[in-house]
Amino acid sequence: MFDIEHADVREAVVRALAEDIGGGDITSRLTVAEDLTAHGSFLAKQDLVLAGVELLPLVYGARDGAAVQILQASGAKLQKGALIATVEGRARTLLECERVALNFMQRLSGVATLAAEHVAEVAGTKVKVLDTRKTTPGLRRLEKMAAAAGGVTNHRFGLFDAVLIKNNHITAAGGVRQALEKTRAFEGPVEIEVRTRAELDEALDCGAQRLLLDNLTPEEAEEWVRYINGRASTELSGNINLQNIREYARAGSDFISCGAITHSATAVDISFRLELEDL
Catalytic residue ranges: 99, 134, 166, 193, 214
CA 260 to chain centre: 10
> Which of 232, 226, 224, 235 shows the shortest CA–CA distance to 257?
235
CA distance from start to end of the chain: 39
Which stretches of 221-269 are assigned E, i.e. beta strand? 233-237, 255-257
CA 185 to chain centre: 31
Q: Between β-strands 190-194 and 77-78, what pairing exists: parallel, antiparallel or unpaired?
A: unpaired
> Which of 240, 279, 276, 235 shows the shortest CA–CA distance to 255?
235
Q: Name the β-bridge partners of 191.
A: 164
Which stretches of the chain are assigned E, i.e. beta strand? 37-44, 48-49, 67-70, 77-78, 83-90, 128-130, 163-165, 190-194, 210-214, 233-237, 255-257, 270-276
* Contact residues for 188 (Cβ-Cβ < 8 A; gap 6+): 161, 162, 163
Q: Between β-strands 83-90 and 37-44, what pairing exists: parallel, antiparallel or unpaired?
A: antiparallel
CA separation, residue 187 to residues 54, 161, 162, 184, 236 (Å) = 35, 10, 9, 8, 24
Q: Name the β-bridge partners of 274.
A: 40
